[in-house]
Each structure stands twice: as structure tokens, then as C-alpha cells.
A and B are shown apart, each in its own frame.
Chain A
Amino acid sequence: MGTSVQVTPLCGVFNENPLSYLVSIDGFNFLIDCGWNDHFDPSLLQPLSKVASTIDAVLLSHSDTMHLGALPYAVKQFGLNAPVFSTEPAHRMGLLTMYDQFLSRRQVSEFELFTLDDIDSAFQNVTRLTYSQNYHLSGKGEGIVIAPHMAGHLLGGTVWKITKDGEDVIYAVDYNRRKEKHLNGTVLESFVRPAVLITDAYNALNNQPPRQQREIFQDSISKTLKAGGNVLLPVDTAGRVLELILILEDYWAEHSLNYPIYFLTYVSSSTIDYVKSFLEWMGDSITKSFETSRDNAFLLKYVTLLINKSELDNAPDGPKVVLASMASLEAGFSHDIFVEWASEVKNLVLFTERGQYGTLARMLQADPPPKAVKVTMSRRVPLAGEELIAYEEEQNRLKKEETLKASLIKEEESKASHGPDNDLNDPMIIDTNNAHAPLDVVDPHGGGFRDIFIDGFVPPSISVAPMFPLYDTTSEWDDFGEVINPDDYVIKDEDMDQAAMNFGGNLDGKLDEGAASLMLDTKPSKVVSNELTVQVKCSLIYLDYEGRADGRSIKTILAHVAPLKLVLIHGSAEATEHLKQHCLKHVCPYVYTPQIEETIDVTSDLCAYKVQLSEKLMSNVLFKKLGDYEIAWVDAEVGKTENGMMSLLPISTQAPHHKSVLVGDLKMADFKPFLSSQGIQVEFAGGGALRCGEYVTIRKVGQAGQKGGGSGPQQIVIEGPLCDDYYKIRDYLYSQFYLQ
């Protein structure tokens, strides 16, 4: 029997919720994607929490919140500690996306689901792979090979191929077939007949409008700017925005515009810095221009990178384009800017992707757009006046309690450990409980005296009053003098690693100073919110720049890939149902649409066994070449090799007669020019039939479109009266096939 494969969706089926699926292959559990939405609703992760401990490996496919947003939370709260696999850019851009999410949340709320440290630790154990790298799992997953392949859509976007015993399970969501400015299209089409394909129905009902859209995009922007308005593009942190930046850069260069463009996220400068070093992951045109002229497309000429809002406020007045995160308008700079600009008729808010369900962006994309929206404006303000005093008192009280407790514990400890010998070897016991207490808070009204003294060390228990630590530097002597520790004199290989040490221990990624200061900012502050109603007077446009394959190309790709079994996930109920019906008819008879937490078994019902082809047999086999394949008919007798393998030997008796087989794939469209080149008049008659000469017709019958498991071989009918032409045409027809 084949490899056992089970799929259990944890989130994101029959709706547009974030993606998260459990795929278990011969008992090895893969969590594929670990997404969250912009609302950060923990209830979505309920199914994940139940299985988190059983997961053996996590595969990430894209770098946005929808695909990896829940990773830090899951690692921290659910004890998800399996190794994580992703491509280098997906890892890096994912990290930056999460930083940006955290920082924009933190700015407006007491966001406590995860911290920057949680993000770092979650992303620390990510194994980074390159495209088409076959990574052999070991241990429990022995025999399983995983390989990321180019998906398009986002930088580093991945179609995962999991192979065991020659059977492929492919996970492909949010892929793009079209080649874009910075990315190539997906390679999904190069996989044929995988055992299982897991794919999304997200775009099944959307059809991309033709290319003129690009002009609408550019026209509307330049029109707004010329009329003196501002343009806001709510974007993601490090994904689709890269494509938009390149489009704008090109347009600006082409039309030599000088309106400023700002790219505003908490991590914009590091995003672009990293992107510059990811050229090998990008499309051909970018790599090529770099190879020939060393022009890095992301050395931006027109776009200014900003990491906080005040820089934007300080920018000179006048029309400008701002790309700001988040795309959902729920948080981040885009939210604030929208509130500021919405009431001005001249301004334009241009959406380039469909907003997540239930977000402000989605509301505004409705047709017709709402006249006014209610928003919550929140701001983090430093505490002042009475609040500050109250806060400080509270902090002091807490601190005092802690230190008291700590010193009591320490005293007991040191009594216990140092009681017998007075030799205090370790005078620098750091009082860990105190280490985090803010140092700038000093209470002048007493009580602090002891605190300050004790902060940083604990006095020996034998001393009567607090004193500075005193320690004898006793040295051991032997017959040759002072005992030397040879380690002290070794020239360490440290010089060069110093720099690395400085960075290694710290954050994995790099934060902009503004962001860092925000994170390190321990000044007491609070969040102030007020609800207000914004009159939406600015123009709103939604253009699809999502870079996903649209309904039509999804169907083409699926028909081409023609999996043996197909699992549909992530998409509205209608889209899922629509695609299911389509695939049942045209792709394959096994289409599954599981519900959340419903485990479906997509183990292939394939039977297979391995045999050795003996030298004797192979010397008699004559292969015929057919495209990439070579085929031959074999009649063989089963024997055994020395090591117990089954082997095929030449048959000893008369070979049984077998039904002859015609192998080949007749394409009417290709056959027609072939016939005309042979001097036969051909034309297409109705119903796909080919009319050859005066009387003979050739046509295909049966479901020609479906290649999947259910249909049999193709049926071709040739009809005509008895005449020379008939036999001639029949011969040409035969020449298209290989007879076994």
C-alpha cells in the first residue's frame, strides 16, 4: 500500500480565515502554515492548541501574518517546539512582519499576546532552505524528503513538496502564475500527477481584469497628485509592497515625476536592506540586470523610507504618496493616516489587496463604500501628574516588597550555603529579582537607602551592617611558586569573533532605532483611546495587485497538474464549492473539502511493489522514446535475487499474447498542421471533429478534458467511406502513436 496521508485543517477552510493545516504522513505530523489574522483572535487557534505538542515539523509557505502570524504565540503558549522550515526570505520577511505587527499594536494597546522576545525565539529555530533543495528528514521522519519550490506571490513564497517512497504530497496556496516585476511565476505546473495536492480556493471566483488595470492604477495616482491630493496605499509590511514599490519607481522614472513617495512601516529601512540581498530569490529580469550592470533594483531612487510618523508629519507639505502598513487599516500607520486624510475630498485611498474579513479595509471596499466609519483612535501617552505619582508609588511598593522578599531568601540561602566556611567565593550574586526594576525611580522619602545599597549584590550574612564586598585574592602555591592556569595565557581565537559576539546574542533581526527605542522605552505610559466617526469623503479605489493566480489560471493549473487526489482549503464557502464542482468534472474524481478539525484520509489506494530488473531482461528490451519518456512492453518471470529481492527475468516459455496498446496523446490542434503538411486538406468541423480530405472525419469521443484517475484511455474515432484517402489518413493517424 502507499504512504498514509491524513489532512486535518486547523483553521481556514470554507472561509477566508488564516491558514493552518495538519498533514500527517506515515505518522509524521507536519503543521503547514501557522497563520493569524489582524484581529489576533486567540479563539481561532483553539484547534491548534490541542495538537501543538504532537507536531513534528512546521512548514511555512509565505511571510505574511495570514501564513505565519501565530507562530510566536503557538511557540510560547502551546509549547510548539518542532523544527520550523521556510525559505530564507520568508523567514526574514516574516520576522520583520511580526515586528511591525507587534510594534504597531503596542503603540495603541496593551498588547500582551506575545513580545518581541517571543518573536525572536520562535524564529530562532527556523531551518532555512533554498528552492528545490531536497531536505531529507531524519529520525521519526526517516525517508521523508521536503523541498520548497517557487510559488510567486510573495518573496520567498513556497510551494511545499513532501515526498515519501516516490509519492508526492504538494501544498500550494497563494501562488501566482504570472511573472511579475520582482518575482517569477510559480513552478507548480512542473509537477505532474502528484498523489495529493492541497490547494486553496481563495481566488476561484475572481477573475483578473485585463492588463489595462496598470494604467488605471498609475492614472488615478497621478491624477490625484496633480489635483493636489495625497495618496495612501495601505500595504503589508514586507510582501506585496515590494512589487508596488518597483511599479511606482518605474512609473516615476518613466514620467520623471517628483512627488515624494514614502514607505512607512516600523521596519521599512531594514526591510529594504534585506531585500537588496535577496536578489537570488527574485525574478529573472532583476537578477539579469544585476549581473550585467550591477544595478540593484531595490536601490530606491524615488521612495523615501520612514520608520515613524513624525518624520512624515515633518515632511514638506504638498501632494505625496504614502505606502503604510497594515493593509487592513486595523492598526499601524495606515490607520492613523487614513483617519487624518479620509475627510479630504482630494485625497485617494488605493487598496491593492482584498482586506481581511471584518476589517476596516474590507468595509471600505464594499460597494458602495460607507459614507462614514467609526474608528477608535488610540495613542500611547507618557503618564503625567497624579497618574505618574500613583504609578511610581505602586512601583515602589512592589519593588520594596520584592527586595524584602528577595533579601530574606538570599539571607536564608547564604546562611545555608556559606554558614560553615567564611570563604565567600562569589561575592557578586546578582539579585535577579531586582534586575528589572527601573533604576531611574528613586524614592527620596526613605526606604530606598537599603534598596540602593543592596541592589546588585548581597552582603555576606556574617556582616553586621551593609558593606562593600571584600575578597582576598588568595593564590595557591606549590613547590615551583604560584600555580598558573595555562588557560589564562592562551591566545584566544576571539579577535575575529568579537564582532559576531556583539550581535549574535542579541536580536536575530535588526530593528530600526526608533523601533528599538520604543521597545526599550520603559517610561511609564498608558493607552488613551477615543472613538470617533470619520466622514469618508476621499476617493476609494480597489485594484487587484495581490499577485495571486485568478480563477481561470487556477483551473488551468489544476487541470495540468492533475493530482490523483485533491484537497481544497482556504476560500469562501461558495468559492470552495465552485472549485470542487469544477474539479470533479475536469480534474479528478477525488476532491475533498474537509471541515475544521475533520481528519480526512487521502492515502493513495495505490498498490506498488519494487522489483529488480535483471541484466538479462534489460538486454532484450527495446525502448522507444516518447517525449521525456521511454517505453517498452515487458513480459517477465518473477525470480529472486541473492538478497531476497524480487527480480524480473526473461520469460522462459512462449510469451503470452497481449492486447496491443496504442500509446500517445493526440492533439487535434497539432495533428491538423501535420496532415496539411502531408498534402491533405484539413479543417475543423463542428464538435471538435477534424475533417480530412472530402469524406474522412476524425474525432475524439468521451470526456476529453478530464485527465484524472477516473477516465480511461482516450477514444478516437475515424470514419469514412472506403477509399485510398481513408487508408492514407489512417496511416498518418497511426504515426502519431506508438504501438505496443
Chain B
Amino acid sequence: MASMGGQPPSSLKRRDAPPVSKEGDQLIITPLGAGNEVGRSCVYMSYKGKTVLFDCGIHPAYSGMSALPYFDEIDPSIIDVLLITHFHLDHAASLPYFLEKTTFKGRVFMTHATKAIYKLILTDYVKVSKVSVEDMLFDEQDINRSMDKIEVLDFHQTVEVNGIKFWCYTAGHVLGAAMFMVDIAGVRVLYTGDYSREEDRHLRAAELPQFSPDICIIESTYGVQLHQPRHIREKRFTDVIHTTISQGGRVLIPAFALGRAQELLLILDEYWSNHPELHNIPIYYASPLAKKCMTVYQTYILSMNERIRNQFASSNPFKFKHISPLNSIEDFNDVGPSVVMASPGGLQSGLSRQLFERWCSDKKNACVIPGYVVVGTLAKTIISEPKEVTLMNGLIAPLNMQVHYISFSAHADYAQTSTFLKELMPPNIILVHGESHEMGRLKTKLTTELADCNTNIITPKNCQSVEMYFNSEKMAKTIGRLAEKTPEIGETVSGILVKKGFTYQIMAPDDLHIFSQLSAANITQRITIPYSGAFGVIKYRLEQIYESVESLTDEESGVATMRVDDRVTLKQDSEKHISMHWTSDPISDMVSDSVVALVLNISREMPKVIDESEAMKSEEESGRKAEKVIHALLVSLFGDVKLGENGKLVIRVDGNVAYLDKQSGDVESENEGLKERVRTAYRRIQSAVKPIPLIAA
């Protein structure tokens, strides 16, 4: 299937072999659908290990699996967030499939209104799509299950998931339609979905985001076309209807049940209210789906514009006064003039087709096509006003009724797109959701128009990745005790760097619990060791190992204590036991272990008198031993190591000579590289062989 979309350059699945250094800063955007086409919107985006998927639609012209976006290009399990802009099939219909049939385990968000209508529209889609059971992408159960996984958000509400921040703006287009702004580590991406910058009867115009995004993924359905002003379209619409019915004709408006249909109903209802002479002419809308969705429209008034909200103050404008629902053609009493709005919009079948066939031969009647129609449907055919049409039963009938095409589809036209982009000024623009030639023309025109702002316009095909690099500066805030004094250049700062999402803070360990939910802990250990010998013996033995062994007496109990290396405290609890306590950290743990070993040794063997000279000798011995070890190690590293004059070691590597002074660690060599290597090696050997320096001092 992947081959259908041209040549996928590199599969996104191969994430385990990323370009090494800059992987974190690479932003990838890949259209999995709607790249140089209209339908199955789905855009993949990943940045800094976070992955977002925008929309999840199907292609209305295909069926079954081939209608899906190219999901096999990605690994669904790594997607953090899936954002759905609106309820149209080409933006939301593959969601049940994606949620239920793939490994996706991220979170899904859409607006309240979208979620409420999504269920109705998809249930209806499942019912009407006449495909075989094995071709079904999902069933009603899948839709119901998906409802539980979908989370809702309100416009402007900021949500943060895994460090991905996002919020949405009103997009116009249909009820609940949103444009998503995603912010990952300060890089902002705006995905418009379908949007319209023109306010209409019930919807607000798309908002202009407050912040300019770094990348704008924008629809290009109408390319460089321009719309007629709304009031002219409305006037044409109402005039056609008024003329037709006053001549005794019938008007058929084939329209998709949801979205624009509500706008047309509002226009009609208002026109009827203003023209009392029409009150005896019935208006019907024949869609059970639209009827079901009316409650949603009556509820989510807040997502609509001021105008409708003001009307709401007196009565709900979606409680139409002059429009009645129509369930089926049997209930339709077809006497005299009437206006009927029926679905589907393309006159493919169903009620709109039945009425069309009944009315098409009478020239008094009219058919108003109110929106974008897909190639291959009867609606598209009759726009060119042929003389005859083929009926569903195969007969040919004359087409005498008038056909008008008045577009009310709420997509941005060129004027809206270019103003929107000019005000937003994104440095990168990615065009999606448009036929490739429309998109191409739009790109050319935008390039000339935005020539002086150095804008990068890209029109990727499906599965073609756009890669960008963002050099994001990481800023950290140093707070608390650590920040009491602002350091000068050259000074050092040491502390704990705490990262949450994409914010960094540096703080002192003691402040950890103040500024974060984390907290530091101290573990005090107390251990009792059976020992019945004299306390002084331990002290003596310890003094041989540790530089600092302090004798004290416990103030409360008067018990003899001693403190080893300023870390571990020993206490003679009783005749038979000593106790030892210290605060955990790696070095103290080690010291305590050695003390334990020592004490156990003393208890096992009888204390023996030790000759001091012997001890001295053993020190010398160990010194010699150490020297041997150093020599051996150096040989293993450099090969040719000889003892030279005045105690220096001569090291030869590939003709270069280095002289190492064993006492001071100084190295002399003409070759800088070798000198550095020998010095480092010697330092490391030293720290391995020689006793640990006493840092606590």
C-alpha cells in the first residue's frame, strides 16, 4: 500500500538508527494523508522524542483499508497525542480504527461539540456504508469503545501531556472545529485543519493566534480561488428560492446532514420570519441525523458567535419556527410549492435522489447545490446543466428543473489564506488538504506575495517527510540557595539539574524539596557488632589505616566513642557489643565496611604485638610493589617502557619519546599528543594504585 503514495523516502519506523548528534533537534512532519489531495487528513509530527498526530480521517472516494491514511508508515505506539480538529469524515472517521485496531496507546483530544457529533456521524457512516463485513474498518462497538478514550478540551484551554503543550483556537468551518497549536520545548506548530476566516450566521471566524508559530500546517482546498461575498451568496440563495416558490415550484437543496446544512436552515428560517407571505410554504429538512444533532447545536451555543448568543438571549435560534423535520418520502405530502433540504449532498442515492427524480422534469422546480461537490456524483454532473439525466432505474429523463450552484462551504479562499498568513508570519508553511494543482498554484502565488519575508513553503506528498532543525536554546533557572549570589564569569556552578517537561532548574540539593516534589534524604545507619575486646585495640588498628581517628566520650552516657575519618562513629555500648553509626554515602559505606572487617578480624585473632619497624618495612614493600604495578600497567598501555636515567621512565611510541618523572608525574616529550596521553594514563594509574587521598580534610 505504501507504494501508492509515491516513494516514501525513509520509513519513520527506523527510529532506532537516528542521525547521531542532532536527533533531538530535528523536527519531522509527514502527511500520512491529505498530502497533495483532499480527504483522509492525517499529519504526523515528531520533535525531541515527542510525537503528535493531527487528524485521523478517511478518503471518501475509497472504501475499506485503502481509504485509510498511510498508518503503516509510522509506529502508532510511540504517538503521545492525537488531536482531531472537527467531526467531518475526512478528519475523524479513521479514529475508531486507529484507537481499536492499532497499537496506539497515547491520548486523544477533541472539542466537546466535536465529540458529541463524532459519535452520531460515525454511527451513521457505519450504517450507510455498504461494504462487505471484512472490508468494514470498524463497527458500532468500536465507536462506542473509542468514546471512552477520547478526552475533551475547550477552546483556549491549555493541556500538557508528556511535556507537549497544546491548545486550540476557533476555526470557523463547522461547529466545534478547532485549529491546534502545539508547543514542544518552545517550538510552536499550528495545524489549521479546515478553517474559515469569514463569520457566518452561527459560527465565529477563525481566530488569529496570539503567537506566531514556527511552522504553520495549513489547508489549501480552494487554492487561489476567491469566494463571492457572503451577503451576495445569501441573496442569490434566497432569491432563487423565493422566485421558484412564488411561481409555484418546489426547491430541492441536497446537502450533507451536518455542518453547512445548519447554516442554510438558519438563513431560511430567518428569511421566512422576515417574509410573512411565505409562511404557508413549508420547509422540510429530511435527515434523521441532522435531527439528532440538533440537540447538540442547541447545547453548544457557547462555541458559536456573538450574534447567535445574543439571539439565544430571547430564544434558542436552533429551535426553528418555520422548518419541520421529514422522516421519509412516504410521509411527504407533495402538494404545492415547498422547500426540502435532503441528504446526501451529492444526490448519489437516498432521499435527495428520490426527490430529484420526482421533480427534475418540471421546469418550475429548482435545485440549489450549496457546497463543494465531489467529481463523479450526479450533483457534479447536473451543474453543467445537461439536457437529460439517467435515473436510478436506468431510464432517461429530461432535466428541466433549474440548477443553481451557490457555494456556502466554509473553507478559506485565497484572500483569507494570504491575509491570515501575512498576519501570522510563520517562517515555515506546509500546505496540505488540497488537490495538487490547486496547491501548486497557491504555493507559487504565496511565494511571490510573501517574497520579502523569507518564508519557506513546502507541499509534501503523502509519506514524504519534511525535516527541519530547530536550534532551541535550553534555558535553566538557577534558584534558591544556589542563586544567592550571581556568579561571575569563570566561576563554577554545581548543583542538581532538574528537568520537568522542557523546563530546567538548577538548585542546591537541600532546596530540592522546596522547588520540586522530589526530596533529598539522609539515611543514618546504625549497626551493632559483637566485640568483647578492649576498645583501645580497635583504635590502635584503625590508626594504622586512617589518618584521623578521634577519641571522644559520649556526653550523655559517658561511653567511650571514637570518630573515624570524620565519618563513622564507633561507640562501646556494652562489654560485648560496640555500635557504629554513620550517614550513608559511598565513601562512608566503604569506611564502615573496613571498620567492620577490622573489628571482626580482631575478635577472631588474638591481638598481637606489632613491631613498628616491621610496619615501616611493609610500607616500603608496598611502595615497591606499587612501583612494579605502575610499570606493568604502563607497559600494557604503551609497550616500550624502560627505566631511564635519574629515575625517569622512557616511553617510546611510534618513534616519539616521552620521559615520565615517577615522583612528580611530570612528562617531557616533543609530541604533545603523547605527552597528554602519558600524563592522563599516569594520573589514572596513580589514583588506582595509591591510597585514596583524604578529601574530607
Contact = CB atoms under 8 A, between A and B. Distances in A.
Chain A interface extent, by class? 35 or more
A132 B159 contact: yes
A663 B510 contact: no
B689 interface: no
B492 A636 contact: yes
Interface in B49-91: none
A130 B155 contact: yes
B646 to A, nearest CB: 29
Given A130-B156, A503-B310, A636 B520 contact: no
Interface stretch (A48-56, A220-228, A347-355, A705-713): A705-713
Nearest to B524: A717
B518 A665 contact: yes
Most buried by B among A88, A638, A651: A638
A607 B474 contact: no
B655 interface: no
Most buried by B among A626, A662, A720: A662
Contacts of B157: 130-133
Given A130-B155, A279-B112, A660-B585, A634 B520 contact: no
A651 B495 CA distance: 13
Interface stretch (A435-443, A579-587, A732-740): A732-740
A638 B492 contact: yes
Interface stretch (B219-227, B405-413, B526-534, B664-672): B526-534
Q: Secondary structure at chain A's binding surface: helix, strand, loop or mixed?
A: mixed
B478 interface: yes
Given A613-B475, A637-B492, A638-B489, A291 B231 contact: no
A136 interface: yes
B514 A715 contact: no
A434 to B, nearest CB: 30
Nearest to B266: A496
A665 B483 contact: no
A273 B229 CA distance: 34
Given A623-B499, A629-B518, A720-B527, 10 more contacts: A277-B302, A277-B312, A279-B300, A280-B152, A633-B497, A637-B490, A638-B487, A646-B489, A663-B496, A721-B527
Contacts of A631: 496-499, 518
A316 interface: no
B521 interface: yes
Interface stretch (A458-466, A504-512, A547-555): A504-512
A132 B161 CA distance: 14
A629 B500 contact: yes
Contacts of B313: 503, 507-510
A499 B307 contact: yes
Interface string B168-203: 000000000000000000000000000000000100
A629 B516 contact: yes
Nearest 5 A-B pairs (CB), nearest first?
A133-B156, A713-B520, A510-B313, A661-B509, A503-B310
Contacts of B523: 662, 716-718, 733-734, 737
20 contacts: A132-B158, A134-B156, A134-B158, A136-B210, A277-B302, A277-B312, A279-B300, A292-B147, A606-B479, A637-B491, A640-B489, A656-B492, A660-B585, A661-B509, A665-B518, A711-B513, A713-B509, A713-B521, A716-B523, A717-B525
Contacts of A147: 158
B522 A716 contact: yes
A740 B519 contact: no
Contacts of A709: 514
B478 A661 contact: no
Contact of B112 (A287, A496, A740): A287
B11 interface: no
Nearest to B516: A629
Interface residues of B, number: 97
B512 interface: yes
B334 to A, nearest CB: 30
B423 interface: no
Interface in A247-285: 273, 276-280
Contact of A608 (B159, B479, B504): B479
Contacts of B545: none
Interface string A647-678: 01001000111111111111000000000000
B116 interface: yes
Given A618-B474, A662-B520, A564 B514 contact: yes
A279 B298 CA distance: 11
B477 A638 contact: no
Contacts of A737: 521, 523
B492 A166 contact: no
Nearest to A129: B156
B270 interface: yes
Contacts of A478: none
B483 A609 contact: yes
Most buried by A among B310, B512, B585: B310
A734 B530 CA distance: 25
Most buried by B among A130, A273, A726, A733: A130
Contacts of A292: 119, 144, 147
Interface of B: 112, 115-116, 119, 144, 147, 152, 154-159, 167, 201, 210, 229-232, 234-235, 267, 270, 274, 292, 295-296, 298-302, 306-307, 310-314, 316, 473-481, 483-484, 486-501, 503-504, 506, 509-510, 512-530, 584-586, 596, 695
A664 B518 contact: yes
Nearest to A737: B521
Contacts of A656: 492, 494
Contacts of A660: 585-586
Contacts of A412: none
Nearest to A707: B513
A628 interface: yes
A276 B488 CA distance: 61
A607 B479 contact: yes
Contacts of A733: 523
B526 A717 contact: yes
Contact of A609 (B119, B486, B494): B486
Contact of A611 (B298, B476, B509): B476
A627 interface: yes
Given A657-B695, A715-B522, A739 B586 contact: yes
A131 to B, nearest CB: 6
Contacts of A532: none
A656 B292 CA distance: 71
Interface string A9-20: 000000000000
A626 B299 contact: no
B584 A629 contact: no
Contact of A634 (B235, B487, B506): B506
A344 B277 CA distance: 58
Contact of B234 (A496, A618, A621, A713): A496
Nearest to A274: B312
Nearest to A564: B514
Nearest to B153: A132
A294 interface: yes
A17 to B, nearest CB: 33
Contacts of B158: 132-134, 147
Nearest to B500: A629
Nearest to B296: A294
B156 A500 contact: no
A192 B474 contact: no
Contacts of B299: 276-277, 279, 290, 296
Contact of A193 (B473, B493, B514): B514
Interface in A607-624: 607-613, 618, 621, 623
Contact of B231 (A493, A618, A632, A646): A493
Nearest to B492: A637
A716 B311 CA distance: 66
A730 interface: yes
B237 to A, nearest CB: 11
Contacts of A628: 500-501, 517
A509 B314 CA distance: 9
Contacts of B270: 496, 499
